[in-house]
């Protein structure tokens, strides 16, 4: 970025909170859908669903809350409820009643209504929790409101929380309040999970989800991102395409994470008193790096809870062996993954082989290139296929043992000297070195041992096959057969051949499983002897 005058106040200091006013960018289509669903005489309920920090609460706030006063003058009560602060279902219903009283208490024209509703509310407080009488009084409260011409609109933020304490009967009561014409309150829920997933936790049979439309909120679209960057003009800052590309590489079009990066960048230039913003000054280190990792982990934890994390890894890293179409569509709706061509993915990860058949096929990466590379780097820590993980770790440890017996301290250069006539082995080692350097540069705490960056094809072609006299002590005398086994494992492991819509065949997967078990067995037995 290049700037003319840089103000001392950081405009992104509110990141992580509900973004309002001029700071709220884009989402025009989503706002239109919410208002069309909620406002007007024929109105319905809507659920806003999406990843953590994607801007769900900010969207609902900006779609409805600026209209609060004008709506109240028309007997439309709009209120924002933080469900995450509520401890149980009884308190939930008490809270939504109290919110109505709080909104109309000081409006002179509504004084008569307030007094009657307050009397009902006080009666409810005296009733035994979750009793038949409690439910009847709650319904009576809203029947009175409806008969007096009031429409009550609730924004229920962090609605996921009700899954912890809503029973079937509580979902049924809320469904009746929101659907029966004689009461018909309007619900705008905000949650990470869908309503059907939240309701399923209580084994509800009321089909509460059936009365609620759904809006899946994802990343910024093309129009949103243009409007977002236009905000900088208010501070007389020119944002270069180079800088935008840097942010896009790090966090994609994730609203909160873009704000986080710009907050740190703005602070950096204020502290350093620099006169020009530029991409090179963006240092992905220390606190920012940790914060990015922590926020990414929160997304991953949500996927784990929904049993989607290993599915995402299969689609992004491979191999695919048990991803369903439903899993794929959920991840696409969350926008945790996005479709790209194989060529795009190869340019990012540089693994596998390009063929005429796969170069234009559909594959997947994470919502940002940086996080895709991080997942790729973290592959060895991923427990989505324990046997596979154990096999790769066991073979790597075996190769390290071989290295310690055959070479000295500077084993990499000794290896290159020994195989100086083999162009393929020279290139193979250089490729591993480039991967190691890139990983250390981007992530700092990566392993320095070159073997940790190998996969089945590297393991066999660069090491095991080069000294079969040593390795046959472990595997036996059938070098050609073991070459075939490692070649099949390399094929299965290859994230290109199987990272499209095709799945690994049952036959290949079964064979690979047998090979993995055999490899682990052979190495374990050899070590024991």
Percent of the chain residues topping a pLDDT of 70: 84
Give which of 21, 11, 27 is closest to 65, Cα–Cα.
21
Q: Where are the domains of the chain?
A: 27-216, 228-377, 381-528
Token duo for residue 98: 């109290």
Under 8 Å between Cβ of 86 and 95: yes
Q: Tens digit of pLDDT for each residue in 384-431?
A: 356 777 888 899 999 999 999 999 889 999 999 999 999 999 999 999
DSSP string, 179-246: H-TTT--EEEEEESS-HHHHHHTTT--S-GGGGEEEEE--S--HHHHHHHHHGGGGGTEEPPHHHHHH
- Given the DSSP bridges, would you call strands 212-216 and 237-238 parallel, antiparallel or unpaired? unpaired
Most confident segment among 229-243, 267-281, 342-356, 394-408: 394-408
Q: Give the pLDDT score at 3.
A: 42
Cα–Cα distance measured from residue 47 to residue 464, given in angstroms and rounded to the nearest whole number: 56
Q: Please check the confidence at residue 203 and state whether its pLDDT lies above 70.
A: no
Cα–Cα distance measured from residue 165 to residue 307, given in angstroms and rounded to the nearest whole number: 22
pTM strictly above 0.85:
no
Number of other CB atoms surrounding residue 27 within 10 Å: 22
Burial class (CB in 10 A: 0-12, 13-18, 19+), 357: exposed
Q: How far is C-alpha 115 from the geometric centre of its chain's CA atoms?
A: 47
CA distances from 329 to 311, 350, 383 (A): 11, 26, 23
Q: What's the pLDDT band for 514 if we cut at 50, 70, 90?
A: confident
**Range with the poorest average pLDDT among 36-50, 280-294, 331-345:** 280-294
Number of other CB atoms surrounding residue 73 within 10 Å: 9
Under 8 Å between Cβ of 112 and 102: no
Q: Tens digit of pLDDT for each residue in 92-128?
A: 999 999 999 999 998 999 999 999 999 999 999 888 7
Phi, then psi, of 368 in degrees rounded to 5: -135, 150
Radius of gyration of the chain (CA): 29
Q: Give the pLDDT score at 284.
A: 56
Q: What's the pLDDT band for 383 if we cut at 50, 70, 90?
A: very low
Name residues whose C-beta falls within 8 Å of residue 15's C-beta, 6 or more positions apart in sequence.
Answer: 256, 259, 260, 263
- Mean pLDDT of the region 237-264: 87
Most confident segment among 167-171, 318-322, 324-328, 466-470: 466-470
Q: Please check the confidence at residue 255 and state whether its pLDDT lies above 90.
A: yes
- Given the DSSP bridges, would you call strands 212-216 and 45-49 parallel, antiparallel or unpaired? parallel
Superfamily of domain 27-216: P-loop containing nucleotide triphosphate hydrolases (3.40.50.300)
Q: How far is C-alpha 318 from the geometric centre of its chain's CA atoms?
A: 18
Q: At what angle do helices 111-126 and 89-104 cross, to 10 degrees?
A: 160
- Given the DSSP bridges, would you call strands 237-238 and 2-3 parallel, antiparallel or unpaired? antiparallel
- Mean pLDDT of the region 138-163: 95
Give which of 414, 416, 443, 411 is closest to 429, Cα–Cα.
416
Q: What's the pLDDT band for 324 if we cut at 50, 70, 90?
A: confident
Q: Give the pLDDT score at 2.
A: 41
Under 8 Å between Cβ of 488 and 511: yes
Distance, first Cα to last Cα, the chain: 63
Place of tokens 């509900």: 18
- Mean pLDDT of the region 147-151: 94
């Amino acid at each position: 970025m290049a700037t003319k005058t840089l103000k001392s106040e950081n405009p992104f200091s509110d990141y992580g909170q509900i973004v309002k006013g001029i700071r709220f960018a884009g989402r025009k289509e989503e706002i239109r859908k919410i208002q069309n669903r909620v406002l007007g005489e024929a109105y319905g309920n809507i659920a806003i669903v999406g990843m953590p920090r994607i801007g769900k609460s900010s969207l609902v706030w900006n779609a409805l809350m600026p209209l609060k006063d004008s709506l109240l003058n028309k007997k439309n009560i709009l209120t924002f409820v933080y469900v995450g602060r509520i401890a149980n279902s009884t308190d939930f219903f008490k809270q939504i009643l109290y919110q109505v009283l709080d909104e109309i208490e000081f409006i002179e024209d509504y004084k008569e209504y307030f007094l009657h509703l307050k009397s009902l509310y006080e009666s409810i407080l005296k009733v035994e929790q979750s009793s038949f009488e409690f439910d009847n009084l709650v319904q009576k409260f809203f029947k009175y409101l409806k008969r007096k011409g009031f429409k009550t609109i609730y924004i229920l933020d962090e609605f996921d929380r009700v899954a912890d304490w809503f029973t079937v009967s509580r979902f049924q009561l809320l469904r009746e309040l929101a659907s029966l014409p004689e009461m018909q309150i309007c619900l705008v829920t905000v949650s990470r999970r869908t309503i059907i997933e939240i309701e399923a936790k209580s084994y509800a049979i009321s089909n509460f989800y059936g009365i609620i439309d759904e809006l899946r909120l994802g990343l910024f679209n093309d129009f949103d991102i243009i409007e977002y960057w236009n905000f900088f003009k208010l501070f007389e800052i020119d944002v270069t395409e180079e800088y935008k590309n840097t942010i896009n590489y790090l966090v994609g079009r994730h609203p909160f994470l873009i704000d986080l990066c710009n907050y740190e960048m703005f602070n950096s230039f204020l502290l350093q008193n620099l006169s020009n913003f530029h991409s090179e000054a963006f240092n992905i280190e220390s606190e920012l790096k940790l914060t990015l990792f922590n926020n990414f982990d929160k997304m991953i934890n949500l996927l784990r809870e929904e049993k989607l994390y290993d599915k995402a890894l299969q689609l992004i890293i491979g191999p695919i062996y048990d991803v369903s179409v439903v899993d794929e569509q959920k991840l696409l709706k969350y926008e945790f993954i996005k479709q790209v061509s194989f060529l795009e993915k190869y340019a990012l990860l540089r693994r596998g082989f390009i063929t005429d058949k796969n170069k234009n096929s559909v594959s997947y990466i994470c919502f940002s290139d940086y996080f895709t590379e991080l997942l790729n780097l973290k592959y060895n820590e991923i427990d989505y296929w324990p046997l596979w993980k154990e096999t790769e770790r066991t073979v790597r440890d075996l190769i390290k043992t071989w290295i310690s017996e055959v070479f000295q301290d500077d084993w990499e250069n000794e290896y290159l000297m020994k195989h100086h006539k083999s162009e393929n082995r020279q290139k193979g080692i250089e490729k591993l070195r480039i991967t190691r350097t890139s990983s250390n540069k981007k992530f700092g705490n990566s392993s320095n041992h070159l073997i940790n960056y190998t996969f089945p094809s590297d393991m066999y072609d660069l090491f095991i096959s080069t000294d079969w006299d040593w390795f046959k002590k472990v595997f036996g005398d059938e070098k050609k057969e073991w070459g075939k086994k490692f070649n099949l494992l390399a094929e299965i492991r290859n994230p290109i051949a199987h990272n499209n819509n095709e799945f690994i065949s049952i036959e290949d997967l079964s064979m690979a499983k047998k090979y993995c078990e055999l490899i682990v067995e052979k190495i374990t037995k050899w070590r024991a002897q």
